Amino acid sequence: MKAITYQIKLLEPVLVTSLSGDPNSAVSFDYLPGSVLRGFFIGRYLQQYQVDLAADDGARRLFLNGETRWLNAYPVDHSGKRYTPTPHSLHRIKGGSETEVFDLAIDPQISIKESWAKLGSSFCQFAGEDLRLVEPKRQISVHTARTRRFGRARNDKLDEKKGDVRGAVYRYDALAAGQVFEAAVLCNDTDAAEIKSLLNGKIKLGKSQNGGYGQAVIEKVTESGKLDEYPLPSFLDSSEENGDVTLSEQMVITFLSDVLLRDETTGQFIVEAETVRQALQAKLGGTLTVERAFTRQEILGGFNRKWGLPLPQAYAFAAGSVFVCEAQNVSLKKLQDLLQTGIGERRAEGFGRFAVNWQTKPELKVEESNPPTPPSVKLNSDEAKLAERVAGRILRHRLDQRVTSVGLNKEVTSPPHKSQLARLRGVIQAELMKPQPNLQPVKDFIEGLAQRNTTRRQFSQARISNEQLDQWLLKELGKTDSSAWAGVLNPGGKVKLEIGLGGVSVKPTELMKAEYLLRYLDAFLSRAAKQIGKERG
């Protein structure tokens, strides 16, 4: 058995759609399915050899009967190592540290102690007691369907015979360009050269290939005797023949791809732990007992271009499903063979691959990602001014978001009349119109409210955070030093407010602090005025 690995670099966004999402959107898988890769290379093979794919023995062996397995393409790290699907047995403590992860398949006693939250990352790597997590980058684009004949969207006077379509707005959620994924082909020694001849140059994958999607290039094709996806357990990490040696111990089975299994009684695809037990025991002999299972369900479909029809949808075990099994008298030789061939159906398309005892640590530490340091760039005076302008706009955009988030999330009880709030907003907006807004006129106006009985009574009765509204406003206007100002507009330091670009660093100036304090209070008063309208009908 040979393992041929190859990397795929996305030159354009790739849209290989799953069945998730609403009808007006197309959501891509977060990996490149082996079925899609196999389909492309079938087309390339048929361009070279004019054969009947179903009748030719060589073509059937390469693509159809499962002897050759076209595995999924998963993301790679900066060193070129392939990630694998994150096991569903990995959990965090809900509300606890983001860096502490526990494997409930290894230590069942942990599950009694806490309430758990699942990890949000699709792919991972184990490095001793460290865990590396990654989520592929995505690109979301909004498109408009239009009638070519009119050059715009139109829903009347359409003629289907002329190719007219109804106008619609739809969204594509695709894998972003620039990412690198690694796939593998498991094949016989005699077919390795033929397969390697197909793995070269540019390729096209997925939907909308004429609309700026799908172009990629194949890189770094390598051949080896086996696929090193994970360290084999000690009882399998040997090149010697194990003969009829049997194994009796606990095994942790982790699916490295989606798995399609049928129920023995009904013949239907089903997602139950008992189905996995039956499938493994039938192949390995001995006795298997599933003690714990951590599974997710996936609905799989597809499209057959030869037939021009969609494939039947089927329920499958999602990649990352974990089963803790107690094995008695299981054949090691059969287990080694099964790790190569996989279980279930559609194995030629990469389904059915699994690992044994991949996870070994009950507690793991999430390794913080250290992005490579960008090279230093020396800018001339014009470039530095442009970089400063761009960084300033990024900073203002972030501050605009903070003003909306903070100012509109505060509520006032017994607010003053709308006219009183409008007068105060008028003073604030007059200052915001000036090149250099000043906080003092606004403070003077609020302090002057005490001289008018009706206004004073309304502002003193209004409460926010158990304080009189006028006193709270004065206190907020006084928060001009860096720490207090950041505490108002950036509580918890959630957003980075110092922008570096090309060696140029931009952070809030005193004028910006005054401006955004006023904008924050204006947003708050605007919400309070709307609140009055709702309460008084």
- For residue 37, the surrounding DSSP H or E stretch is helix 34-48
pLDDT value, residue 332? 86
Neighbours of 328 (CB within 10 A): 12
This prediction has a pTM of 0.66
316 strand-pairing partners: 298
Cα dihedral 495, 498, 503, 504 sign = positive
**Is 256 in contact with 278 (CB distance < 8 Å)?**
no
Return the pLDDT at 6: 93
Alpha helices in 408-479 (DSSP H): 418-432, 440-448, 453-461, 469-477
Distance CA 459, CA 22 (A): 48
Give 102-119 as a 3 state SS string.
Answer: EECCCCHHHHHCCCEEEC
3-state secondary structure of 450: helix
Residue with tokens 């999607």: 213
Instruction: With H, G, I as helix, E, B as strand and everything else as coil, classify residue 464.
Output: strand
Q: Which two tokens stand for residue 35?
A: 């079925």
Residue ranges of domains in the chain, CATH in brackets: 241-356 (2.60.40.4350), 381-535 (no CATH)
The whole-number pLDDT of residue 535 equals 56
Which amino acid does the sequence have at 101?
V
Q: Exposed, middle or buried: residue 453 (CB in 10 Å: 0-12, 13-18, 19+)?
A: exposed
Whether residue 348 contacts residue 63, with contact meaning beta carbons closer than 8 Å, is answered with yes
What's the average pLDDT block by block, 10 residues per block, for the chain (537 residues)? 90 86 77 91 88 84 88 88 91 82 82 72 88 89 72 67 68 89 90 89 88 90 84 66 69 92 87 90 88 89 75 88 90 87 89 90 78 59 88 89 78 84 91 91 88 85 85 88 84 80 85 90 84 59
Greatest alpha-carbon span in the chain: 98
Nearest to 356 by CA among 291, 280, 278: 280
Q: How many CB atoms lie within 10 A of CB 139?
A: 17
For residue 291, report the phi and psi dihedrals to the nearest 5 degrees: -90, -40
Residue 23's nearest CA partner among 210, 168, 176 is: 168
